[in-house]
């Protein structure tokens, strides 16, 4: 059952109303999906800030800001699937005018290109945009402010470049490609390049709220043109719920599930000492309260938005508002917290599972030198290597098509755990990328790298 308890709905109502009032947000719309179904939709305020103005609804359009980047990323990855683009190619191979930027497509997607955060000239979010040729001419080598691939560095310019890449390879406008390849097949009919009708009250105007008075001012809104792929799109909470399901893996054959999964694999880390946030391929990734969350936030003058996907809790939250300052920090993740706190995620009951053939003689204690590990079976096709003492590198391994055990995450991601057997089929040792694991510390029957002390284990005399 995916529906929310009445008490949870009341908690969400209270959270939404408190945030809208405390942060003086003209209007805000929220949608929550669980198990792929919409289980909560609510709005507060009026879209023009008048007490008697039109109230927001599920189909009210707001500018979504940088959530636009997720659509651009999906369109680029579609080019990758069709072998029209390679993630490891330098952007100059496709856009010769940017050959001086020694950055790859993957680095642009993962916010590790080192290219300047904002475009040259006037503040692009509040002024009319320029054509690609003009923007490209302004992007001189000096706008590579950090070495490519060395650091996380959020760049709106990077996505302007990726939008142009789509246009060159598809010979069509980047948004036309997004609309044809994603919006139309997914039925996202209220997602558009520009607002469809602010005057009729079906789209929210961008508003700034005075910091010390209850006054508002309309924000400037223009076509970003070459920079539009960084934050142009307008959408609704209903349409973004559909997009959230797409990013959760319901791809409807438009992209391979593995391609979408690669979008939320961490590529660059924002806070390297603690790793609580970073970037995949077009998606922000974070760790929050022991849960891994991905999606994207967005802001443009007059608008703040958020899309969060919590796979563990099977939740998607979307919010859109028309306030430059927004509804306060952490709004989207706190929506998740309200639900998870009120309705903790149930753990699936344990049931026996028959492991794949040949696994039983792999499990149990193993030693790397004198450090003890245990190898256990998870489900029927996964091996978990865990340090007994709590120190050392644990890992999860899954079998590939050739039957090899390949690291699924962490330090050993992509590395092979090779099972070495004797002629009689008995397991002699495990080889983890040159690390030999044996049943006892430095077992004599195993080929220990560097050999063994001829005296074996002994007391010093």
Please write the tens of the pLDDT for every residue from 194-205: 999 887 889 999
Is 146 found in the same domain as 96?
yes
Q: What pLDDT score does 135 carry?
A: 97
pLDDT digits (tens, 9 = 90+) for 177-195: 999 999 999 999 999 999 9
Q: What pLDDT score does 303 carry?
A: 98
455 domain-assigned:
no
Q: Look at residues 287, 318, 347 and tell me which one is the last residue of a structural domain.
A: 347
Tell me how far apart the alpha carbons of residues 283 and 297 are, in angstroms, rounded to a whole number: 9
Average pLDDT, stretch 341-355?
A: 83
Is 226 found in the same domain as 369?
no
Total domains in the chain come to 2
Residue owning tokens 């308890």: 5
pLDDT digits (tens, 9 = 90+) for 6-34: 999 999 999 999 999 999 999 999 999 99
Position 272 pLDDT exceeds 70: no
Higher pLDDT residue, 389 or 447?
447
pLDDT digits (tens, 9 = 90+) for 77-127: 999 999 999 999 999 999 999 999 999 999 999 999 999 999 999 899 999
Q: Output the domain CATH number for residue 295.
A: 3.40.710.10
Is 298 found in the same domain as 393?
no
Q: What's this model's pTM, rounded to 2 decimal places?
A: 0.87
346 confidence band (pLDDT: 50, 70, 90): confident
Residue owning tokens 């939404």: 16
Q: Look at residues 323, 347, 371 and tell me which one is the last residue of a structural domain.
A: 347
Q: Would the CA dihedral through 128, 132, 135, 137 be positive or negative?
A: negative
Is 381 found in the same domain as 244?
no
Which runs of consecutive H residues, i.e. helices, occur in 224-380? Answer: 237-247, 257-263, 331-342
450 domain-assigned:
no
Is 168 found in the same domain as 20?
yes
Is 427 found in the same domain as 334?
no
445 domain-assigned:
no
The domain containing residue 366 runs over which residues? 360-438
pLDDT digits (tens, 9 = 90+) for 278-324: 999 999 999 888 889 999 999 999 999 999 999 989 999 999 999 99
């Amino acid at each position: 059952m995916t529906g929310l308890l009445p008490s949870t709905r009341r908690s969400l109502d209270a959270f939404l109303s408190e945030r809208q009032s405390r942060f003086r947000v003209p209007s805000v719309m929220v949608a929550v999906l669980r198990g792929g179904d919409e289980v909560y939709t609510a709005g507060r305020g009026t879209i023009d800030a008048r007490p008697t103005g039109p109230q927001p609804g599920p189909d009210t359009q707001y500018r979504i800001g940088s959530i636009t980047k997720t659509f651009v990323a999906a369109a680029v990855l579609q080019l990758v699937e069709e072998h029209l683009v390679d993630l490891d190619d330098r952007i100059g191979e496709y856009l010769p005018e940017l050959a001086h930027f020694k950055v790859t497509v993957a680095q642009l997607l993962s916010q590790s290109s080192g290219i300047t955060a904002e475009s040259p000239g006037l503040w692009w979010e509040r002024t009319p945009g320029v054509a690609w040729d003009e923007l490209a001419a302004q992007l001189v080598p000096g706008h590579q402010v950090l070495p490519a691939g060395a650091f996380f560095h959020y760049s709106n310019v990077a996505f302007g470049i990726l939008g142009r890449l789509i246009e060159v390879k598809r010979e069509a406008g980047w948004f036309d490609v997004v609309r044809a390849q994603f919006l139309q097949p997914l039925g996202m009919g209220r997602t558009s390049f520009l607002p469809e009708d602010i005057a009729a009250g079906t789209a929210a105007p961008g508003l700034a709220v005075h910091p010390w008075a209850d006054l508002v001012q309309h924000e400037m809104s223009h076509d970003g043109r070459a920079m539009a792929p960084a934050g142009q799109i307008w959408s609704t909470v209903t349409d973004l719920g559909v997009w959230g399901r797409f990013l959760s893996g319901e791809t409807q054959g438009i992209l391979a599930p593995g391609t979408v999964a690669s979008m939320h694999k961490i590529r660059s880390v924002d806070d390297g000492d603690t790793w609580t946030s970073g970037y995949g391929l077009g998606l922000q990734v974070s760790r929050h309260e022991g849960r891994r969350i991905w999606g994207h936030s967005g802001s443009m003058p007059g608008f703040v938005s958020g899309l969060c996907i919590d796979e563990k809790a099977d939740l998607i939250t979307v919010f859109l508002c028309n306030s430059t300052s927004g509804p306060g920090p952490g709004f989207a993740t706190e929506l998740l917290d309200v639900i998870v706190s009120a309705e903790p995620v149930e753990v699936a009951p344990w049931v026996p599972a028959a492991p794949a053939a040949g696994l039983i003689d792999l499990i149990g204690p193993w030693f790397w030198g004198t450090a003890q590990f245990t190898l256990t079976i998870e489900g029927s096709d996964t091996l978990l290597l865990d340090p007994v003492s709590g120190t050392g590198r644990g890992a999860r391994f899954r079998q590939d098509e050739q039957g090899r055990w390949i690291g699924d995450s962490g330090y050993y991601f992509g590395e092979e755990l090779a099972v070495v057997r004797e002629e009689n089929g008995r397991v002699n040792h495990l080889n983890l990328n040159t690390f030999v694991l044996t049943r006892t510390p430095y077992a004599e029957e195993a080929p220990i790298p560097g050999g063994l002390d001829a005296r074996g284990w002994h007391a010093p005399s």
